[in-house]
A and B are shown apart, each in its own frame.
Chain A
């Protein structure tokens, strides 16, 4: 797959390069010692009472344990609350993984040349143009987007039910993971049961209009059963597979399942 033909904002290049370099680092839960806040303990006690590496490892194991608990807790029949139009948050907040946290940094994607790549355990790996994607059956939801930082906002998204899309491409629905690789170099992955949840959609429209660039043009995964960072924007590739692929924030220690 190649996204190089798509024009992008000149400022994004160095940031994207940096992001890509970080993603190359193989460690799943890569922390700097300072990220753990052990500096405080060291400062208070005047000596190194906690072995940073083993504390990191223990916390990482607890996070893995929490992944399993959440997968067990996840009930595919339980729906996120749907709101009325009067509840919609306007303007809807913008948030990104890159810095500065500015909509001007969002990638510029040409709808005419855009292609969605579908890879992995699927029977139909043909690319998708926007016209083809827009022609898919459409559902609409008004749900609450909850950010890991603690803020939340109600928005309206429309698009195709992701389970419909996975069936159309002949995905192996017994596979464990669905991975998203985005045109701003963001990546994340989700478990198959959450991918098949009825409220998980590939959204092409937002609040009655085409999904704007700031909110993920041309397409965003809207998954109201997970935290905001599990809702990737500007998706360029969807891969179905059995190997754990993690994601951008997961590499920095955000819990992988992050279910709501």
Chain B
């Protein structure tokens, strides 16, 4: 047991371990499983894209998984189960426990403008990791939306006959494929910001590993 003590603002000694839990175990576990699934899905997805590029370029082979279409598809259709099941656990927990409501809402445009401006001028504080600022709320809510959309559009292009209604709602096969690609782009852009921020604020990375 860690007996190192802190002195709280009220002058009372507290055990280090009394530091509030920011991320419960289920959030940390689903976060890192999702990180693994997402990386595999993106890299294999880029390999699939290269077989018949949607946009007029190919991803460099070094960032793809499964050089060749068959291998890329095998990775993609294996990791999709991890992504979908783990995602369903995370979303159910977030919705049922009230975590999404507590952490992500409300999102007001005025707050977002204020916080983004502060972030860009280096004045946005991350001293209380248990409360998300408006920019974080928007980013996290958006990437959850993009994650849901990428799975829905993925099902629409995987099974356009069995889930025909879904494919039709997204504007048929080719449009669903573009939506799948656009969702991936949104997630990659989020990841770029997310990873940089985690490295700039290492305590946030520690809390996603240790919980506090």
Contact surface of A with B, Cβ cutoff 8 Å: 31, 34-37, 39-40, 43, 58-60, 62-63, 66, 73-75, 78-81, 144, 146-152, 224-225, 249, 252-255, 259-260
Contacting residues of chain B (54-112) with chain A, CB-CB under 8 angstroms: 54, 61-75, 77-78, 81
Tell me whether A59 and B159 are in contact (CB under 8 A). Answer: no
Task: Determine how close the nearest CB of chain B comes to the CB of A87; give it in whole angstroms.
Answer: 10
Q: Please classify how large the interface on chain B is, using the bins under 10, 10 to 19, 20 to 34, 35 or more.
A: 35 or more
Task: Tell me the complex Cα distance, A27–B160, Å.
Answer: 31
Tell me whether A80 and B52 are in contact (CB under 8 A). Answer: no
Task: Determine how close the nearest CB of chain B comes to the CB of A199; give it in whole angstroms.
Answer: 9
Task: Tell me the complex Cα distance, A146–B172, Å.
Answer: 12
Q: Is B6 an interface residue (CB 8 A)?
A: no
Number of A-B contacts (CB under 8 A): 102
Q: Is B15 an interface residue (CB 8 A)?
A: no
Task: Tell me the complex Cα distance, A40–B67, Å.
Answer: 9
Nearest-CB residue, chain A, relative to B64: A37
**A–B Cβ pairs within 8 angstroms, 16 of them:** A31-B70, A36-B67, A37-B71, A37-B75, A39-B67, A59-B71, A59-B75, A63-B74, A63-B77, A78-B162, A78-B164, A81-B164, A150-B49, A150-B51, A255-B73, A260-B161
Nearest-CB residue, chain B, relative to A81: B164
Contact surface of B with A, Cβ cutoff 8 Å: 47-49, 51-52, 54, 61-75, 77-78, 81, 159-162, 164, 167-168, 172-174, 177
Task: Tell me the complex Cα distance, A152–B61, Å.
Answer: 24
Tell me whether B162 and A73 are in contact (CB under 8 A). Answer: yes
Task: Tell me the complex Cα distance, A63–B160, Å.
Answer: 19
Query: For A147, A224, A252, A260, which residue has the most chain B Cβ atoms within 10 angstroms?
Result: A260
Tell me whether B161 and A78 are in contact (CB under 8 A). Answer: yes
Tell me whether B74 and A81 are in contact (CB under 8 A). Answer: no
Known A-B contacts A79-B161, A150-B54; the reply to A37 vs B77 at CB < 8 A is no
Tell me whether B67 and A37 are in contact (CB under 8 A). Answer: yes
Please pick, from A66, A81, A146, A249, the residue contacting B77 in the complex, using a CB distance under 8 A. Answer: A66
Task: Determine how close the nearest CB of chain A comes to the CB of B210; give it in whole angstroms.
Answer: 26
Task: Determine how close the nearest CB of chain B comes to the CB of A141; give it in whole angstroms.
Answer: 13
Tell me whether A152 and B173 are in contact (CB under 8 A). Answer: yes
Residues of B within 8 A of A40 (CB): 61-65, 67
The 3 closest A-B pairs by CB, nearest first: A253-B70, A62-B78, A149-B52
Taking A37-B71, A150-B49 as given, write out 7 further A-B residue pairs in contact, using a Cβ cutoff of 8 Å, ordered by the A residue number.
Answer: A31-B70, A36-B71, A40-B67, A63-B74, A78-B161, A80-B164, A150-B48
Residues of B within 8 A of A35 (CB): 66-68, 70-71
Known A-B contacts A35-B67, A73-B162, A151-B52; the reply to A43 vs B62 at CB < 8 A is yes
Task: Tell me the complex Cα distance, A62–B62, Å.
Answer: 24
